[in-house]
Structure 1
Amino acid sequence: MIPIAITADHIRETLDAYLEAYPDDKPSLAPVLELLDAEADLTTRKEFRGHATAGAILADPAGRVLHIRHRALERWLLPGGHLEPDDARLLDAAQRELTEETGIPASAVVPAGMLPVHIDVHPIPANDAKGEPAHRHFDFRYLFRTAAEVGELQLEEVTAAAWRDADDIADGVLRHRVKGALR
């Protein structure tokens, strides 16, 4: 059976459910809502006004969070990336990215819920090598749990992985929500 690709309706439904849980985030998500209202295709990385990405926050039984060292950006980040045509849901995209980048099999990872724990809008610099102008990512971030260890890293994108205290999550809102969920 071929999975149905993520649709604008799925993004809208996910965003609406998220805003029911976190209504104070609505002003920061205005760019996402505006593009959805304009019927922009947020599933394609060719939409340079902004497009959806999926991120994973992976916690171990001790409450540590897995960080990866991103090769191109030379920074410690949380796993995640662009949507693919085979992704049926944003949650699936986050789990796929997590598995691709860390080598941890999907069967060893359990989503903490169906709702993103955070949605972030952030700028991405131009990338002349890829022919991409500066644009925005709308990152739908999901929390997962595992007892597994890191597997084979996706060396094209990731140079290292490390379990760190949840206090090391750079984004304050995300850090607060993850720490609350892990209590």
Structure 2
Amino acid sequence: MSLHDDAVLVLKGYENHYEGQEELRQIYLAHLDAHPDGMWKACEDGHITASALVIDPERERVLLTLHKKLRMWLQMGGHCEPDDTALAGAALREATEESGIAGLALLPGGPVRLDRHLTPCAWHLDVQYAALAPADAVEAISDESLDLRWFPYDRVAGVADESVVRLLEATRARL
């Protein structure tokens, strides 16, 4: 199965009753239907991306990265790569690479949210997961980051934009 096919299956099975999520799901599916290359950065009309909010529920905190290009505190994530075979795998790969944490595990139940946003390269149709950090997690800053920091749940709204706040709320609701 191709990554494109996996993304279609994930999106067809995605159910979320938060406002706007069904509309986004339909936009993502229409995009993939119209763009066989819709998974890749080269697709100038936009592309599917995969991200994961790294969360430590025991300590009630999340790990955010200060993105080097966007200069914003965000969850880990980014473009799919040719070796990716599943959307969930791409999200886990991105979270592991950008956090430096070994042993992350995606929260069961598939994607937590969808978020569509314009970036310097194109529209990102982001499929957002949550990744549980192991108890002994030690983070390490990647080349894509200016900083990497744990934030208590109640401080996220003060540093990150609404999309990250909504992702945290949805993740906490799923926990």
Partner of 1:180: 173
Task: Give matches, 1:146-157, under 5 Å.
Answer: 146=133, 147-154=135-142, 156-157=143-144
Q: Of the two, which has the highest radius of gyration? A: 1
Are residues 96 and 84 of structure 1, via their aligned partners in 2, closer, same or farther at CA, if it must alter by over 3 Å?
A: same
Q: Secondary structure at the match of 1:115?
A: coil
Query: Which amino acid counterpart does residue 107 of structure 2 have in structure 1?
Result: A
Q: Which runs of 5+ in 1 are unaligned?
A: 126-131
Give the alignment partner of residue 85 of structure 2, picking from 84, 88, 103.
88
Q: Secondary structure at the match of 2:31?
A: helix
User: Aligned letter for 1:62?
Assistant: R
Distance verdict in 2 for CA 1:119–1:148, change over 3 Å = farther
- For residue 21 of structure 1, report the CA deviation from its aligned partner: 4.0
Q: Hey, what's the Cα distance between the residues in 2 that align with 1:69 and 1:44?
A: 23
Report the aligned-residue RMSD.
Answer: 2.0
Structure 2: gaps (5+ residues): none
Q: Name the structure 1 match of 2:37.
A: 41
Structure 1 residue 42, shift from structure 2 partner: 1.7
Change (3 A) 1:102 1:53: same
- Contact kept? 1:5, 1:86, Cα under 8 Å: no
The equivalent position to 1:110 in structure 2, one of 84, 89, 105, is 105
TM-score normalised to the size of structure 2? 0.84
Q: Measure, in 1, the Cα distance between the counterparts of 2:83 and 2:45.
A: 23
* TM-score, length of structure 1 as denominator length: 0.81
CA distance, structure 2, for counterparts of residue 163 and residue 136 of structure 1: 28
Superposition deviation, residue 152 in structure 1? 2.7
Give the share of equivalent positions with the same residue, in percent.
Answer: 33
The count of corresponding residues between Structure 1 and Structure 2 is: 166
Change (3 A) 1:75 1:173: closer
